[in-house]
Structure 1
Amino acid sequence: MLIIVTYDVSTETAAGRKRLRRIAKACERVGQRVQKSVFECTINEMQFEQFERELLAEIDLNQDSLRFYRITEPVELRIKQHGCFRSVDFAGPLLI
């Protein structure tokens, strides 16, 4: 399956800069960089689960954002999201 991985790591501290380097290196081992913080990975389900665990162990869920897009799967399985960023559900009800 094809996975798109995107991340946004807070680099305001030395620890954040280290996290960014470790996450980038992990992504380079598994996929191809298509933008600075975007990678395309062709992996199977078992590799994906291991890769996801590896990246989740690196990020700070209170400061960083990590997103996975499963391109070749059914719609409800395409996006997994972790971290502080939450996208808007445009298909859901709009509350003002």
Structure 2
Amino acid sequence: MSKNALDRLAATIRERRTEAADKSYTRQLLDDPIKSAKKVGEEGVEVAIAATAQDRNALLQESADLLYHFLVLLESRNIALDEVCEVLEQRMGTSGLARDKGPAG
């Protein structure tokens, strides 16, 4: 999925805020950020299981589910995908090992 596809998905999720909750699963998740967070955790576990099982198709499907639920969670907390991308940009060129240690490490 390209960044453009993620942007389109994020826009679709944002539009679902105006849908009736009884007709939109996305709206139900947007209305309940705790449920959204739990779904991200559940999908993350399913991604890990698919990856360790070395099941490529399952990993693709679960990864798509994870990305969708992650974007719903961000929207439920009024965080734009671009904001997350900005954090990633700031981290470019910085070792994760150095960042995790911090000044005290």
User: Do these two structures clear the TM 0.5 threshold for a shared fold by scoring above it?
Assistant: no
Structure richer in helix, relative to its length:
2
Structure richer in strand, relative to its length:
1
Q: Which has the higher contact order (CA 8 A, sep 6+)?
A: 1
Q: TM-score, normalization: structure 1?
A: 0.29
Work out which of the two has the higher radius of gyration on C-alpha atoms and give 1 or 2. 2
